[in-house]
């Protein structure tokens, strides 16, 4: 008499990879070949590198409908080098007759879902290290290099080794004045930048479920700073409602939750006890409570990047700055993550609040986060909503860059030194 053994519970990463590989189940460590649903690259990572390699091979794009090109790193063009890079991208897009090209309307990781290209269950790759942003929507998405991207663009396939999952379970809810950025800096400070090396990080728990989609995108995005391949969040009603606004009709959420999966190591956190976080130069792992950095003077406050200038981030900064003005000697720069978010912020009066507080509004692009655009003075103390604060990352090799949430950046701009936003908002 035979008995049937129950199927082992699978992690979200295993479910998504198995689907892409056309298999019922995949095991941690197994190498499988996956069909790629979407390949994204931008002006810096895409055409200027792919075009000559494709021409040398005499190869063509496997499916142009599954390719997205975003011009966001070198726009608006400010010198001959940037004009050359962007011209190559625009010319190649026309030559290839690519159907999905977004030029100067925002940062790729934000534009991609806003234009309806990401949905649960997809297997996607991006020519940028912060491509795990797609994991916020229940898609398996990660960054790859130019050589791997060449293989994807030609074949539509990519092998992947099934990663172990680190589950970050956050209980309760964040207090007022804290964001997903604080959650991420706390986790990176605890685990380090290699804490999830070639692993998938899954964010779950009541605190994560309570987050808006833009906030979830910040979590998934900065899983890259933990060294993870992917940062995943199981799709739910919040996902469905957000995607519906982007014109995407999502199937039912399905069997995505994996709280009982054996192939995962779980860490628990209490969102209710978290305090605002700041990361000191020159690593996101140098994170600690904002009180550890109180009174550190700042000359530049930068609200920008895919981790700090979406609509929710702009709203957060405005809630601190409304009716007030930044301190003398502080330069406040705001670079909205997309034109879509900027337009909504304009309609709500959020952008006007920021301007009235003394903000200089920059282009909706990667800008100073990638060391391009904006003006970060040499030797300045900078507090920024960006994802990274490596030496020279924002252009100046002598600038001292601190990372924080938009609440903390705004409060610091108001006081002229790193400050706890809860004190300003009290």
The set of residues, in sequence order, having a beta carbon less than 8 Å from that of 22 and lying 6+ positions away, is 35
Structural domains in the chain?
12-161 (3.30.499.10), 277-425 (3.30.499.10)
Characterise 40 by phi-psi region: left (phi > 0), alpha (psi -120 to 50), beta (else).
beta
Q: Give the per-residue pLDDT at 426.
A: 66
Give the residue-averaged pLDDT of 75-80: 91
Q: Tokens 């929507």 appear where?
A: 137
Q: What values do phi and psi take at 421, rounded to 5?
A: -65, -25
Q: What values do phi and psi take at 402, rounded to 5?
A: -110, 140
Query: What pTM, to 2 d.p., does this model score?
Result: 0.95
Locate 126 and state its tokens.
């991006």
Q: Cα separation of 390 and 411, whole Å?
A: 23
Q: What values do phi and psi take at 44, rounded to 5?
A: -80, -40
DSSP string for residues in 245-279: HTT--PPP--S---TT-SSEEEEEEEGGG---EEE
Tens digit of each residue's pLDDT (9 = 90 or more) over 171-216: 999 999 999 999 999 999 999 988 767 799 999 999 999 999 999 9
Characterise 25 by phi-psi region: left (phi > 0), alpha (psi -120 to 50), beta (else).
beta
Q: Give the per-residue pLDDT at 1.
A: 41
Q: Cα separation of 300 and 338, whole Å?
A: 22
pLDDT for 262 beyond 90: no
CB atoms within 10 A of CB 81: 10
CA max distance for the chain: 82
């Amino acid at each position: 008499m035979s008995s049937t053994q129950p199927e082992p519970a699978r992690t979200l990463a295993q479910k998504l990879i198995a689907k892409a590989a056309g298999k019922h189940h995949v095991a941690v460590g197994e190498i499988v070949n996956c069909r790629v649903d979407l390949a994204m690259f931008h002006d810096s990572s895409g055409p200027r590198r792919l075009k000559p390699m494709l021409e040398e091979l005499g190869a063509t794009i496997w499916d142009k409908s599954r390719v997205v090109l975003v011009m966001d790193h070198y726009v608006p063009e400010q010198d001959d080098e940037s004009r050359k890079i962007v011209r190559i991208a625009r010319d190649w897009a026309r030559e290839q007759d690519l159907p999905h090209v977004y030029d100067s309307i925002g940062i790729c990781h934000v534009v991609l879902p806003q234009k309806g290209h990401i949905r649960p269950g997809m297997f996607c790759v991006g020519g940028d290290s912060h491509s795990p942003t797609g994991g916020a929507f229940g898609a398996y998405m990660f960054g790859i290099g130019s050589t791997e991207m060449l293989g994807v663009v030609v074949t539509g396939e990519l092998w992947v080794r099934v990663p172990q999952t680190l589950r970050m379970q956050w209980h309760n809810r964040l207090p007022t004045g804290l964001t997903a950025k604080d959650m991420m800096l706390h986790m990176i400070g605890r685990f380090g930048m290699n804490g999830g090396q070639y692993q998938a990080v899954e964010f779950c728990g009541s605190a994560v479920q309570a987050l808006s989609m833009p906030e979830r995108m910040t979590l998934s995005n900065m899983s890259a700073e933990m060294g993870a391949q992917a940062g995943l969040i199981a799709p739910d009603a919040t996902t469905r409602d957000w995607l519906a606004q982007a014109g995407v009709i999502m199937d039912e959420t399905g069997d995505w939750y994996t709280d009982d999966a054996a192939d995962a190591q779980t860490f628990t956190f209490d969102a209710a006890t978290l305090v605002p976080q700041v990361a000191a130069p020159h690593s996101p792992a140098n994170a600690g409570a904002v009180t550890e950095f109180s009174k550190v003077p700042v000359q530049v406050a930068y609200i920008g990047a895919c981790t700090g200038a979406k609509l929710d981030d702009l709203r957060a900064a405005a809630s601190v700055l409304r009716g007030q003005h930044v301190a003398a000697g502080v330069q406040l720069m705001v670079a909205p993550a997309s034109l879509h978010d900027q337009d909504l912020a304009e309609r709500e009066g959020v952008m006007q609040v920021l301007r009235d507080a003394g903000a200089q509004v920059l282009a909706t692009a990667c800008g100073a986060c990638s060391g391009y655009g904006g003006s970060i003075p040499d030797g300045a103390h900078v507090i920024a909503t960006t994802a990274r604060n490596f030496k020279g990352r924002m252009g100046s090799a002598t600038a001292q860059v601190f990372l924080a949430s938009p609440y903390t950046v705004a409060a610091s701009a108001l006081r002229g030194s790193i400050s706890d936003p809860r004190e300003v908002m009290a």
